[in-house]
Amino acid sequence: MTATLANRAGKIAPFYVMELLNRAKQLEAAGRDIIHMEIGEPDFPTPQPVVDAALQQLNTGDIKYTPAAGLPELRQHIAGYYLQKYNVRVDKRRIFITPGASGAFLLALAASINPGDELIIADPCYPCNSNFMHLFDGAAKAIPVDAATNYQLTDERIKAHWQAQSKGVLIASPSNPTGTLIDADMLRRCIQAVDDLGGVFFSDEIYHGLVYDKDAATALVFSDKVFVINSFSKYFGMTGWRIGWLIAPDAYVETAEKLAQNIFIATPTLSQYAALAAFNDHTQAELERRKLEFSHRRDFLYQSLLRLGFDIPAKPEGAFYIYANCANFTEDSYRFAYALLEAEGVAVTPGIDFGSFKAKEYLRFAYTTSIDRMTEAIDRLERFIKKEEIHHANKFNVSARVKSKAGE
Amino acid sequence: MTATLANRAGKIAPFYVMELLNRAKQLEAAGRDIIHMEIGEPDFPTPQPVVDAALQQLNTGDIKYTPAAGLPELRQHIAGYYLQKYNVRVDKRRIFITPGASGAFLLALAASINPGDELIIADPCYPCNSNFMHLFDGAAKAIPVDAATNYQLTDERIKAHWQAQSKGVLIASPSNPTGTLIDADMLRRCIQAVDDLGGVFFSDEIYHGLVYDKDAATALVFSDKVFVINSFSKYFGMTGWRIGWLIAPDAYVETAEKLAQNIFIATPTLSQYAALAAFNDHTQAELERRKLEFSHRRDFLYQSLLRLGFDIPAKPEGAFYIYANCANFTEDSYRFAYALLEAEGVAVTPGIDFGSFKAKEYLRFAYTTSIDRMTEAIDRLERFIKKEEIHHANKFNVSARVKSKAGE
C-alpha cells in the first residue's frame, strides 16, 4: 500500500528538544549525571490528598465512563474555584473536563476553526498551539513579541495583523517559554479588539496559580464570550493524570458537548475523582508551599543567569521558565544546548522550539528541579561558558576573518 | 463576541440515545427501576490484577508524563500479545498507546486525511467513525450493508463505490452495532482491493477478544501497511481508564509520533501502568470467564428476542450487541425505544444512531447486564409489545383507513 500522508504531516515540526532528550537518556544510560532543566513538568509528586482520592475510587473498582463533559461534581468545584479565586461566576454547563489542556485546545479549536483559518499567536509561544491549527488545516500567524510588551500581544498588534483569513487570537499568560504576564488592562483591550474584529478569543491560562509577585487575571473577568483553557497539570501538579478543562462561550456549549462525546468519550475517570481533592484546604496549602518554593527557584535562577552574562529582558513572573538570551555566548542556541549537554550534562530547551523570532538567541531554562541541583547546573554552565568563550573567541576570530574575506 | 462555529459543528449529529439516557436518569431519580440495555460498556469491574497494578504505581506517587507513544514496556507487551494470539510480528515502534480507541482513530486519521477526503464505511456503523471524518473536514461514505454480507463491506462493494475523493476504507469486525464478523478471506480481499485502489485501510478491532464461536482475524495477518485500532476498554474491561492503541504502518510512524506529542502529550500514566497487568495469566483467566458469561448472555438474548418476534437476520458472533429488526412492531424504532422506556423502564439504542439504512427498523440491544436483569427486561418487553400490538392494530386500522381515503 502506498503511504499517502495528510498534508499537515509536513507542516508539524518535531520538538527539537526531543533529540536532546534522547541524547540525554543515552548519556544517563552510560552513567553520566544529567541535570534536567528542559522539562516542562513540576518535579513535585502529585499532592497526597489527590492521590488519596484516587486510591479511594480505585478501591471501589468502579472506573467506568463518566459523562462526556465530566463529573458534574468536578465541574461544580471548578465553578466554585472561579468564584472564590477570581470573583467571577461561570455556569457549570460551560465547563468541560478534558484530557489535559491538550484536550481543551482540541475541543475549542474543533468547535471554531475551519480549514484556511488563521489564529494570531505570539512568537515565542508554546509550539503545540500552532500545531493544533495544522490539525484543522488552519495556520498560526505568529507575531514577534519582545520585552517591550512583556512578550505578549497588544490590541494594536492584533488590529495591525488582522486579515481576511484571521479567525481568532490566542493569548497565553503566564507565557511558556517566557513566564511573562499580560497586564490585566491590556488583556481587556485585546479581548475588546478581537470582539470588534468579529474574532474568537482563546485564553491559555494553564500556568495560572504559578504566579509569584501579583495575580494573573482570567479573561472571564472581561467577557463570558471567550474560550478559557486550563489544566490540572502545572499548579495542581497532576501532569501524568491528563486532566484539564475548557470554559466555552454559551453559543459553543452544544457543539463542544457533541465533539467531546465523539473525540474523547470522556476524560479518564480516576483522574477526575482525584481532581475532586485538588481544591480542598490540605491540597491548596501544599500547593501554596510549592508555589513559594518555585518563586525562590525563580529568584535564584534569574540572578544566577544574569550573573553569568545571560540577558533576561523581561523578568518572568509566572510559570516555571526563564527565557534567556544567550547571544553573548553563541549564534546558535540549539548548538549551544547540544554542546552544553555533551560537555556538562545540563539539558535546556533551544529557542527554536518556540518560534522563529530571534529563536537562535534564546534558551529556555525550566526551574523544575531543586535549588541544590540548579546550583550545580549553574557551576557547570559557568565552566562551559568559560571554555566556550575561549573556543568562541578563537573560532570567532577565524570566522570573522573568513567572513571579512568573503565580504571583500 | 459573535459566535462563529466551525462548519463541522453542523455536520456532527448528537447521539440520539443521549436523550433517552437523560430521560432514563429522570425516571430513575423519580424512583423508577430502569434496565439498561443501551450501554456499550461492560458491566464487570476492572480486573483485580489491573487495579492492583494501578494501586502499586499510585503508591509511588510517581504519575509523570510518559513518552508520547507510551511506556516502552507496554508497547512490548502488546507486540508479545500479537505474536502469541495471532502469530504475527509487530515492531513495537509501530505501536502507539493512545487515550482510548478514540485517540487511536484521531491519530490515524490526522496522519492520513485531508479536507474533502472520503472514508468508506459500512451502514450501520459506530457513529463516531463518521464524526471523526468531519473533525478533519472529510466525510464518511456509508455503504448500506445487510445480513447477506454479515453486515460487512466486501471487496466488490469497495471497488464499486470508490471515487476520486475516496481516501480509504474502514472495516470494524466485530461490528458495533451488529456484532457480526468479516470472514478472514474477505478481510484479505478487502485489504487487497484498497491496496489496488491506492487507498488507506483502517481496521477497527476494538471488540477483538469478545468473539464467541470462532476467532476474529487481525488485518495485520494480511498486511503490515494497514492501520489497526484497538482498545483496553471492551475485552479488557478498562473503559474509564481511557486507554487503547494504534498500530501504524511504518511510513506513518514518524508523523504519528509528532502528532501524539502535540495532540495528547501522552496517554494517562496510571492507565498505562494498570494495563501492564492486562496480559498476565490471572487477568487473562478472568477475562476468559467473562467472555464465557457474555456468550451465555448473547445466546439468551438472541433466543429471547427471536421468540418475541424480533428478526435478527445475521447471528451476532462478537462484541456485546444484538441489532434486532423491530419492523413487526413499529415503523419508527426511535419512538418505540422512547415508548418502551416510558412504559416499562427498559433502555435500548435506536438504529438511527448507527446510520440511515433501514435504521428506523432496528434497535440495538447491549447485553452488558446480567441474565437475571435481561430476563426481567424480556418480560417487560413482551408486555410492552402486546400492549403496543393492540394499540398498533387499532392505530394501524385508523391510519390504514386514512391512507386509503387520502389515496383515493
What confidence category does residue A23 fall into, taking pLDDT thresholds of 50, 70 and 90? very high
Q: Does A99 touch chain B (CB under 8 A)?
A: yes
Domain shared by A237 and A372, yes or no: no
Q: What is the pLDDT of residues B198-224, one digit of tens each?
A: 999 999 999 999 999 888 999 999 999
Taking 60 as the threshold, does the pLDDT of residue A403 lie above it? no
Q: Does A9 touch chain B (CB under 8 A)?
A: yes
Q: Does A44 touch chain B (CB under 8 A)?
A: no
Domain shared by A264 and A305, yes or no: no
Q: Which domain holds residue A328?
A: 12-40+283-396
Least confident span in A128-137, A190-199, B301-310: A128-137
Q: Which residue of B has its CA nearest to A131?
A: B262
CA distances from A318 to A102, A178, B402 (A): 20, 9, 73
Our CA-based measurement puts residue B335 at a distance from the nearest CA of chain A, in whole angstroms, of: 22
Q: Does A29 touch chain B (CB under 8 A)?
A: no
Q: Which residue of B has its CA nearest to A65?
A: B240
Higher pLDDT, residue A21 or B112: B112
- The 3-state DSSP class for residue A158 equals helix
Q: Are B28 and B34 in contact (CB under 8 A)?
A: yes
Please state the rounded mean pLDDT for residues A239-248: 98
Residues of A in contact with B259 (CB under 8 A): 12, 135
* Last residue within a domain, chosen from A260, A278, A296: A278
Our CA-based measurement puts residue B330 at a distance from the nearest CA of chain A, in whole angstroms, of: 29
Task: Pull the grid cell for residue A135.
Answer: 490539525
Taking 50 as the threshold, does the pLDDT of residue A272 lie above it? yes
Q: Which of A220, A262, A273, A349 to mutate to test the interface with B (most CBs of B within 10 A)?
A: A262
Q: Which residue of A has its CA nearest to B63?
A: A240
Q: What DSSP letter does each residue of A2-62 carry, written as one string?
A: -----GGGGT-PPPHHHHHHHHHHHHHHTT---EE----S-SSPPPHHHHHHHHHHHHHT-
Of residues B6, B13, B240, nearest to A66 (C-beta): B240
List the one residue out of B346, B376, B378 whose CA is nearest residue B24.
B346
Work out how many CB contacts closer than 8 A connect A with B.
232
pLDDT score of B399 = 42
Q: Are A320 and A298 in contact (CB under 8 A)?
A: yes
Q: Which residue of A has its CA nearest to B99?
A: A264
Pairing of strands B166-172, B349-350: unpaired
Helical spans, DSSP H, in A91-237: 100-112, 128-135, 155-161, 184-197
Domain shared by B108 and B220, yes or no: yes
Q: Side chain identity at B242, as an amino acid letter?
A: R
Please state the rounded mean pLDDT for residues A309-328: 97
CB–CB contact A258 B14 (8 Å): yes
Write phi, then psi, for A381 (nearest 5 degrees).
-65, -40
Of residues B61, B132, B255, nearest to A45 (C-beta): B61
CB–CB contact A115 B135 (8 Å): no
Q: Which of A56, A130, A242, A252 to mutate to test the interface with B (most CBs of B within 10 A)?
A: A242
CB–CB contact A12 B55 (8 Å): no
Please state the rounded mean pLDDT for residues B343-360: 96
What confidence category does residue A395 fall into, taking pLDDT thresholds of 50, 70 and 90? low
Of residues B6, B55, B195, nearest to A1 (C-beta): B195
Taking 60 as the threshold, does the pLDDT of residue A396 lie above it? no
Domain membership flag for residue A406: no
Q: What is the residue-averaged pLDDT of chain B? A: 93
pLDDT score of B296 = 98
List the one residue out of A253, A400, A382 whose CA is nearest residue A306.
A382
Q: Are B88 and B221 in contact (CB under 8 A)?
A: yes
Q: What is the residue-averaged pLDDT of chain A? A: 93
CB–CB contact A111 B5 (8 Å): yes
Say how far apart CA B71 and CA B65 lie, in whole Å. Answer: 10
CB–CB contact B267 A242 (8 Å): yes
Q: Are B21 and B338 in contact (CB under 8 A)?
A: no
Domain membership flag for residue B407: no
Of residues A66, A240, A252, nearest to B5 (C-beta): A252
Domain membership flag for residue A202: yes
Say how far apart CA A21 and CA A38 lie, in whole Å. Answer: 8
Q: Which residue of B has its CA nearest to A192?
A: B1
What confidence category does residue A180 fall into, taking pLDDT thresholds of 50, 70 and 90? very high
Q: Does A164 touch chain B (CB under 8 A)?
A: no
Higher pLDDT, residue A237 or A394: A237
Our CA-based measurement puts residue B53 at a distance from the nearest CA of chain A, in whole angstroms, of: 11
What confidence category does residue B19 fall into, taking pLDDT thresholds of 50, 70 and 90? confident
Domain shared by A205 and A315, yes or no: no
Of residues B1, B4, B241, nearest to A195 (C-beta): B1
Q: Could you identify the residue written with the cell 488485518? A: B219
Q: Indicate the pTM of the whole model.
A: 0.94
Characterise B319 by phi-psi region: left (phi > 0), alpha (psi -120 to 50), beta (else): left
Task: Pull the grid cell for residue A20.
Answer: 536532546
Long-range contacts of A127-132 (CB under 8 A, 24+ apart): A127/A13, A127/A15, A127/A353, A127/A354, A127/A355, A127/B262, A128/A102, A128/B261, A128/B262, A129/A105, A129/A170, A129/A172, A129/A204, A131/A12, A131/A13, A131/B258, A131/B262, A132/A105, A132/A106, A132/B262, A132/B263
CB–CB contact A255 B9 (8 Å): yes
* Last residue within a domain, chosen from B260, B278, B296: B278
Task: Pull the grid cell for residue A333.
Answer: 542556541
Please state the rounded mean pLDDT for residues A366-395: 89
What confidence category does residue A404 fall into, taking pLDDT thresholds of 50, 70 and 90? very low
Count the Cβ atoms, other than its own, within 10 Å of residue A116. 14
Domain shared by B264 and B298, yes or no: no
Q: Does B297 touch chain A (CB under 8 A)?
A: no
Domain membership flag for residue A312: yes
Helical spans, DSSP H, in A224-280: 253-263, 269-275
Percentage of residues in chain A having pLDDT higher than 70: 95
Q: Which residues of B152-171 are buried (b: 16+ CB within 10 A; e: fewer)?
A: bbbbebbeeebeeebbbbbb
Q: What DSSP letter does each residue of A162-181 carry, written as one string?
A: --TTEEEEEEESS-TTT---
pLDDT score of A405 = 36
Please state the rounded mean pLDDT for residues A379-385: 97
Domain shared by A357 and A273, yes or no: no
Please state the rounded mean pLDDT for residues B151-180: 98
Q: What is the pLDDT of residues A57-82, one digit of tens each?
A: 999 988 999 999 999 999 999 999 99
Of residues B5, B41, B261, nearest to A255 (C-beta): B5
The size of chain B, in residues, is 408
Least confident span in A318-322, B7-11, B15-19, B163-167: B15-19
Say how far apart CA A324 and CA A365 lie, in whole Å. Answer: 7
Q: Are A225 and A192 in contact (CB under 8 A)?
A: no
Say how far apart CA A119 and CA A158 lie, in whole Å. Answer: 11
First vs last C-alpha separation in chain B: 56
Q: Which of residues 261-290 of B touch A (CB under 8 A)?
A: 261-271
Going A33 to A36 to A37 to A38, the CA torsion angle's sign is positive
Residues of A in contact with B264 (CB under 8 A): 99-100, 102, 242
Q: What is the pLDDT of residues A225-236, one digit of tens each?
A: 999 999 999 999
Say how far apart CA A120 and CA A139 lie, in whole Å. Answer: 9
Domain shared by A332 and A387, yes or no: yes
Domain shared by B237 and B354, yes or no: no
Instruction: For Cα atoms A119, B110, A141, give the angle at the middle one, nearest 5 degrees.
Output: 15
Residues with Cβ within 8 Å of residue A281, at least 6 apart in sequence: none
Taking 50 as the threshold, does the pLDDT of residue B403 lie above it? no
Taking 90 as the threshold, does the pLDDT of residue A286 lie above it? yes
* Last residue within a domain, chosen from A215, A250, A278: A278
Task: Count how many domains chain A has.
Answer: 2
pLDDT score of B402 = 36
Q: Which residue of A has its CA nearest to B66?
A: A240
Residues of B in contact with A242 (CB under 8 A): 99, 264-269
CB–CB contact B223 A1 (8 Å): yes
Residues of B in contact with A110 (CB under 8 A): 6, 8, 135
The number of angstroms, rounded, from the C-alpha of A172 to the middle of its chain's C-alpha atoms is 8
Residues of A in contact with B199 (CB under 8 A): 1
Domain shared by A156 and A83, yes or no: yes
Q: Which residue of A has its CA nearest to B192?
A: A1
Residues of B in contact with A3 (CB under 8 A): 225, 249, 251-252
Q: Does A402 touch chain B (CB under 8 A)?
A: no
What confidence category does residue A240 fall into, taking pLDDT thresholds of 50, 70 and 90? very high
What confidence category does residue A129 fall into, taking pLDDT thresholds of 50, 70 and 90? confident
Domain shared by A178 and A302, yes or no: no
Residues of B in contact with A99 (CB under 8 A): 99, 242, 264, 268
Domain membership flag for residue B1: no
CATH number at residue A359: 3.90.1150.10
What confidence category does residue B404 fall into, taking pLDDT thresholds of 50, 70 and 90? very low
Domain membership flag for residue B145: yes
Of residues B61, B110, B242, nearest to A268 (C-beta): B242
Domain shared by A268 and A289, yes or no: no
Domain membership flag for residue B120: yes
Residues with Cβ within 8 Å of residue A202, at least 6 apart in sequence: A108, A119, A168, A169, A170, A171, A226, A227, A229
CATH number at residue B164: 3.40.640.10
Say how far apart CA A196 and CA A226 lie, in whole Å. Answer: 13
What confidence category does residue A389 fall into, taking pLDDT thresholds of 50, 70 and 90? confident
- The 3-state DSSP class for residue A85 equals helix
Residues with Cβ within 8 Å of residue A276, at least 6 apart in sequence: A53, A71, A73, A74, A77
Domain shared by A231 and A259, yes or no: yes
Domain membership flag for residue B402: no
Say how far apart CA B68 and CA B96 lie, in whole Å. Answer: 8
Q: Which of residues 304-343 of A touch B (CB under 8 A)?
A: none
SS3 string, chain B, reads: CCCCCCHHHHCCCCCHHHHHHHHHHHHHHCCCCCEECCCCCCCCCCCHHHHHHHHHHHHHCCCCCCCCCCCHHHHHHHHHHHHHHHCCCCCHHHEEEECHHHHHHHHHHHHHCCCCCEEEEEECCCCHHHHHHHHCCCEEEEEECCHHHCCCCCHHHHHHHCCCCEEEEEEECCCCCCCCCCCHHHHHHHHHHHHHHCCEEEEECCCCCCECCCCCCCHHHCCCCCEEEEECCCCCCCHHHCCEEEECCHHHHHHHHHHHHHHCCCCCHHHHHHHCCCCCHHHHHHHHHHHHHHHHHHHHHHHHHHHHCCECCCCCCECCEEEEECCCCCCCHHHHHHHHHHHHCEECEEHHHHCCCCHHHEEEEECCCCHHHHHHHHHHHHHHHHHHHHHHHHHHHHHHHHHHHHHC
pLDDT score of A21 = 87
Of residues B12, B110, B266, nearest to A135 (C-beta): B110
Our CA-based measurement puts residue B317 at a distance from the nearest CA of chain A, in whole angstroms, of: 25
Please state the rounded mean pLDDT for residues B359-366: 97
Taking 60 as the threshold, does the pLDDT of residue A398 lie above it? no
What confidence category does residue B401 fall into, taking pLDDT thresholds of 50, 70 and 90? very low
Our CA-based measurement puts residue A225 at a distance from the nearest CA of chain B, in whole angstroms, of: 6
Q: Are B113 and B136 in contact (CB under 8 A)?
A: yes
CB–CB contact A46 B65 (8 Å): no
Q: Does B249 touch chain A (CB under 8 A)?
A: yes
Please state the rounded mean pLDDT for residues A111-128: 96
CB–CB contact A64 B200 (8 Å): no
Q: Does B371 touch chain A (CB under 8 A)?
A: no
